């Protein structure tokens, strides 16, 4: 069966739902019951803990086994790569108990960023299921950094607080004061004549929050800025993370280096980083991020 053939399993078949549930479980557990989840992981033998993410191979099997995209080599890959990443973080925890940032931490982040930015693993999935690959990588890294590495100050707690909303909207307003005149002046932003309805606005915001903002904020703010701050301080870590975040958009919406997008994304990264670091809460920066992306997509793109 060739890769060109359509998937034989609908996006929401029983097997696909089971695969999504397997991948969502650690993410939701860490988001809403982090301490209890970590204590449960502590009850397993030390040698077993880094092997648990190999269950990602089962999720891949369930989602793709009846499609033209299934390969046993990919099953082996998804059994091995998550375990390798977690082993690196387990070693980082042993070598760097002060959590000043070990080279293995940054190696894991580099590998994750490389895989996501250039979509290295996505060809293993049917197009309609490639979001599961990002969920798989997120769950693996969350498990590694929070349950094995025990990195402090990430802020992956999604029980809402009023302060999250206040901080997120405040940073949105600050960013808008700069981005709107700059983006319009550069010709990057274009005001739409017709405004979307409330229903479309809410659905778009929820989609941006769940599938873009949470993933990117966890990576750039919860992990990267968090670790860099321990090495180079608050100001430089904020600036460097914002630049790296901006550069990750270099090929978005264009076939060559999109410097306007990079500039606006870098500025956005500063305000996302400010929102996160105020109370070490990813929910706050994700609110800012999802709001910026939704406004841009619906009104200004």
Residues 123-171: pLDDT tens digits?
A: 999 999 999 999 999 999 999 999 999 999 999 999 999 999 999 999 9
Torsion from C-alpha of 53, 58, 62, 68, nearest 10 degrees: 100
Nearest CA among 85, 208, 204 for reference residue 139:
85
Annotate 84-114 with three-state secondary structure. HHHHHHHHHHHHCCCCCCCHHHHHHHHHHHH
Helices (H), 7-130: 14-32, 34-42, 56-64, 72-95, 103-117
Q: Mind listing the pLDDT tens digit for each residue in 35-79?
A: 999 999 999 999 899 999 999 999 999 999 999 999 999 999 999
Nearest CA among 107, 9, 111 for reference residue 67:
9
Helices (H), the chain: 14-32, 34-42, 56-64, 72-95, 103-117, 131-142, 162-186, 198-208, 214-217, 226-232, 234-247, 259-279, 282-295
* pTM (two decimals): 0.94
Q: How many residues does the chain have?
A: 301
């Amino acid at each position: 069966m060739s890769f060109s053939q359509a998937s034989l399993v609908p996006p929401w078949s029983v097997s696909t739902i089971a695969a999504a549930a397997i991948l969502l479980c650690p993410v939701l557990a860490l988001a809403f019951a982090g301490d209890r989840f970590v204590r449960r992981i502590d009850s397993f033998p030390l040698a077993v803990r880094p092997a648990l993410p190999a269950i990602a191979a089962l999720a891949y099997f369930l989602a793709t086994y009846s499609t033209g995209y299934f390969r046993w080599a990919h099953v082996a890959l998804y059994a091995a790569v998550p375990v390798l990443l977690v082993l690196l973080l387990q070693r980082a925890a042993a070598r760097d108990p002060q959590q000043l940032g070990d080279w293995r931490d940054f190696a894991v982040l580099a590998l994750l960023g490389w895989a996501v930015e250039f979509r290295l693993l996505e060809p293993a999935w049917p197009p309609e299921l490639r979001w599961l690959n990002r969920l798989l990588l997120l769950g693996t890294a969350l498990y590694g950094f929070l349950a094995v590495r025990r990195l402090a100050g990430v802020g992956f707690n999604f029980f809402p607080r009023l302060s999250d909303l206040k901080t997120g909207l405040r940073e949105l307003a600050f960013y808008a004061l700069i981005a709107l005149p700059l983006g319009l002046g550069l010709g990057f932003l274009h005001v739409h004549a017709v405004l979307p309805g409330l229903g479309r606005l809410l659905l778009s915001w929820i989609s941006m929050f769940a599938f873009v903002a949470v993933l990117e904020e966890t990576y750039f703010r919860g992990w990267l800025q968090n670790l860099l701050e321990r090495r180079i301080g608050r100001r430089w870590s904020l600036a460097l993370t914002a630049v790296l975040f901006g550069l990750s958009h270099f090929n978005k919406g264009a076939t060559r280096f999109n410097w306007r997008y990079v500039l606006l994304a870098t500025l956005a990264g500063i305000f996302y980083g400010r929102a996160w670091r105020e109370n070490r809460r990813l929910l706050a920066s994700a609110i800012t991020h999802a709001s910026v992306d939704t406004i841009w997509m619906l009104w200004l793109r």
